[in-house]
Amino acid sequence: MNNEVLKALKERRSVRSYKPQQITDAELKAVMEAGTFAPNGMGRQDSWIVAVQNPEILDQLRRMNAEILGSTSDPYYGAPTIVLVFGSDPEKWRNSVQDGSLVLGNMMNAAYAIGLGSCWINREMEMFSTEEGKALMRKMGIPEELIQAGLTGIGALALGYPEGEPRPAKPRKENYYRIVR
């Protein structure tokens, strides 16, 4: 079976090198809006999406993430935009991480569909559980009641125009899926 959506799902790759040029507002809005249409438990729309293009905050995010990684390199690969996804405290809403993960997946596929590169980045859960992370959430305009209720970092996307071509997909492992009848 062949169609454009299935083709895009097979071709999308994580991008780990970005041009410094900032993406357009229309492109950013299209990617973020795609995230809002991700499936979510009980229709709660529990996730919160924050795009960061402010150089000072980008630097802080890069430093915080690198510290958790135990590195000095840029965990966001020089992307000019970082999109953060937050969700409720997973102990209070059991679908929080799954819902936020679907938001990230939708946004990665949307980015590819419009010619942008993206890469899922981890460690936001650790970053935003710190006092520095909570202060940064406030600085980014996250409502205080959400922070107090335990809003959690789910993950992030490095987002921008790809520098070069991504590597082709690795061959899929044998017996990756099966059908039981």
Here the CATH number for the domain that contains residue 39 is 3.40.109.10
Question: Would residue 124 count as lying in a domain?
Answer: yes
Question: Would residue 176 count as lying in a domain?
Answer: no
Which residues touch 92 (CB under 8 Å, ≥6 apart)? 149, 150
Amino acid at 10: K
Range of the domain at 87: 16-160
pLDDT in tens, 41-83: 999 999 999 999 999 999 999 999 999 999 999 999 999 999 9
**Counted domains in the chain:** 1
pLDDT in tens, 11-47: 999 999 999 999 999 999 999 999 999 999 999 999 9
| 79, 81, 85, 86: CA torsion to nearest 10 | 110
Closest CA to 118 of 155, 85, 79: 79
